[in-house]
Amino acid sequence: MQVNPAAIESTQTRVRQLADLPGPKGLPILGNALQIQKQLLHQKLEQWSREFGPYYRVKIGRRKLLIISDHQAVSKVLRDRPEGFSRTAKLGETWAEMRLQTGLFGANGEVWKKQRRMVMAAFDPAHVKAYFPAMCKVADRLESRWKKSLGSEIDLQADLMRYTVDTITGLAFGQDVNTLESGDDIIQTHLDKIFPAVFKRNLAVIKYWRYIRLPSDRALDRSIAEVNLAIDRFVLQARARMTEYPELRIQPSNLLEAMINAADQGGSGLNDNDVAGNVLTMLLAGEDTTANSLAWLLSLLWTNPAVLQQLQHEIRGKFSPETPYSTEELNGLDYLDACINESMRLKPVAPMVPLQALKETLVGDVLIPEGTIIFSLLRRDSVDDAFIPNAAEFSPERWLVQGETGQSINSVKRISMPFGAGPRICPGRYLALLEMKIAMVMLLTRFDIDNISTPDGKPASEYLAFTMAPLGLKMRLKLRN
Ligand code: HEM
Per the DSSP assignment, residues forming a β-bridge with 64 are 59
How many C-beta neighbours within 10 Å does residue 34 have?
A: 10
Provide the mean pLDDT of the chain: 92
Ordered structural domains, the chain, with CATH: 5-88+353-377 (3.30.43.20), 109-352+380-479 (1.10.630.10)
Computed over its alpha carbons, how large is the radius of gyration of the chain?
23
Cα separation, 299 vs 304, in Å, equals 9
Is a pLDDT exceeding 60 seen at residue 117?
Answer: yes
- pLDDT for position 158: 92
Query: pTM to 2 decimals?
Result: 0.94
The reply to whether ligand 1 has any atom less than 6 angstroms from the CB of 86 is: no
72 Ramachandran zone, left/alpha/beta (phi>0; psi -120 to 50): alpha
Is a pLDDT exceeding 50 seen at residue 438?
Answer: yes
Percent of the chain, pLDDT > 90?
81
- pLDDT for position 411: 84
Is a pLDDT exceeding 90 seen at residue 473?
Answer: yes
- pLDDT for position 204: 82
Is a pLDDT exceeding 90 seen at residue 408?
Answer: no
- pLDDT for position 126: 87
* Closest Cα to atom 3 of ligand 1: 289
Q: How confident is the model at residue 409 (pLDDT cuts 50, 70, 90)?
A: confident
Peptide bond into 321 cis (omega under 30): no
- pLDDT for position 2: 47
Is a pLDDT exceeding 60 seen at residue 341?
Answer: yes
Q: How confident is the model at residue 277 (pLDDT cuts 50, 70, 90)?
A: very high
The reply to whether ligand 1 has any atom less than 6 angstroms from the CB of 420 is: yes
Determine the distance separating the centroid of ligand 1 and the alpha carbon of 285, expressed in angstroms. Answer: 6
Cα–Cα–Cα angle for 302, 303, 309, nearest 5°? 55
What is the per-residue pLDDT across 155-189, written as a single tens digit (0 to 9) for each? Answer: 999 999 999 999 999 999 888 888 888 877 788 88
Angle between helices 429-446 and 156-173 (to 10 degrees): 130
- pLDDT for position 6: 46
* Closest Cα to atom 21 of ligand 1: 426
> Closest ligand 1 atom, CA of 283?
30
The reply to whether ligand 1 has any atom less than 6 angstroms from the CB of 412 is: no
What is the per-residue pLDDT across 358-396, written as a single tens digit (0 to 9) for each? Answer: 999 999 999 999 999 999 999 999 999 999 999 999 999
- pLDDT for position 41: 94
